[in-house]
Amino acid sequence: MLRLFRGSLIVTSQLGFISAAQVPCSATVSVKRLLTGVILCSQFLCQNTCVTMATATHSKALTSPYPNSKQERLKLKPEQVSWQTKWEEYNPPDFTADKVLVGPVWADPDDKKNAKEYKKIVWNKLDGKVNRQTYEKCKTYKVPEIDGRPSNPIGRTGLKGRGELGKWGPNHAADPIVTRWKRDAKGTIEQGKSGKKVLQFIAIQRKDNQEWAIPGGMVDAGEKVSVALKREFGEEAMNTLEATPQEKKKIKKAVDALFKVGHEVYRGYVDDPRNTDNSWMETIAVNFHDVEGASVGKFKLNAGDDAAGVKWMDISSEIKLYASHQHFIEEVTKRHEAHW
């Protein structure tokens, strides 16, 4: 199946899911053979499909005080978020959490305490095992010479530094959205007020702020996104970290079967409360639908790792979720023509 979504040509097959295929903006007319399909790309198509969140602005990324701290952000008016708005006096607080500054393996070197190593970072490219390219289609982020720090592609946040994020620039995450149809005791699929079928998804409750969210997490350096999707789901929703070897084997078999076929619903920047002017969250969200509820749906959910709770949550426009997760879930309902 070939379909266009948010600047990406999404290719799916009976064998599984394939990440979004980038369409080069430099092309005038080019032909790409993707699996069994042939895609004709014109300049008009490229110019339009490369626009993803360029027109977006910040909302949750302006959260003050900064999560898990007393650090206040510089207050911004909506029109002051864009870097295109001139503001020569702009000088927000510089904040990086202590747990990042101590230099854990997942964090970049500090630009002040370890300037020599910091200058070795290669921006907008694959830097060793660390992917420093943005998920935003056909885009690169700027690294002004004035401070040598990457600039948030959406705009100002009222705070410099890295906050709680380990990487300068994009911090990549993977969000597996596991869904099934809501059924009554007789196994009949239930309908919402809209008359459309009701979807459920596996939601976890974050320990840090008690908000409900998709059970995702960070992609480790050198790790494939497909591997990260399964790992994060297993750790947070099935608690594979504490499961017995026999339980792990059963869970792995079910998760592997379900995750063979997935549909990418979003790839790009995330309006996240942890974002700063120099570090920000990006993600790839993929939907894995358990049609009959006979795969992961038959296992008992067990919160683990960073999750305080886990459950099958009914999907509707009334749910409130962490960061941009509600937007991702809405896109899933559109794909399944489900109740929202």
pLDDT in tens, 297-312: 666 777 766 778 889 9
Cβ neighbors of 14 (< 8 A, separation 6 or more) are 261
All domains of the chain in start order, with CATH: 2-49 (no CATH), 173-336 (3.90.79.10)
Q: Label residue 38 by pLDDT band (50, 70, 90).
A: very low
Q: What is the mean pLDDT of residues 167-177?
A: 97
pLDDT at 30 over 90: no
pLDDT 10s digits, 218-230? 999 999 999 999 9
Instruction: Decide if 296 contacts 178 (C-beta within 8 A).
Output: yes
pLDDT at 8 over 90: no
The pLDDT value recorded for residue 10 is 39
Rounded percentage of the chain residues whose pLDDT exceeds 70: 82
pLDDT 10s digits, 120-152? 999 999 999 999 999 988 789 999 999 999 999
Peptide bond before residue 215 is cis, with ω within 30 degrees of 0: no
- Which of 2-11, 86-95, 295-304 is predicted least confidently? 2-11
CA-CA-CA-CA torsion sign (298, 303, 304, 307): positive
- Cα distance between residue 287 and residue 179, in whole Å: 7
**pTM, to two decimals:** 0.80
Q: What is the mean pLDDT of the chain?
A: 84
Cβ neighbors of 134 (< 8 A, separation 6 or more) are 124, 140, 141, 153, 169, 170, 268, 269, 282
Q: What is the mean pLDDT of residues 49-59?
A: 59
- Which of 53-62, 63-72, 174-183 is predicted least confidently? 53-62
Name which residue leads in pLDDT, 138 or 322: 322
The pLDDT value recorded for residue 70 is 97
Q: What is the mean pLDDT of residues 67-81?
A: 97
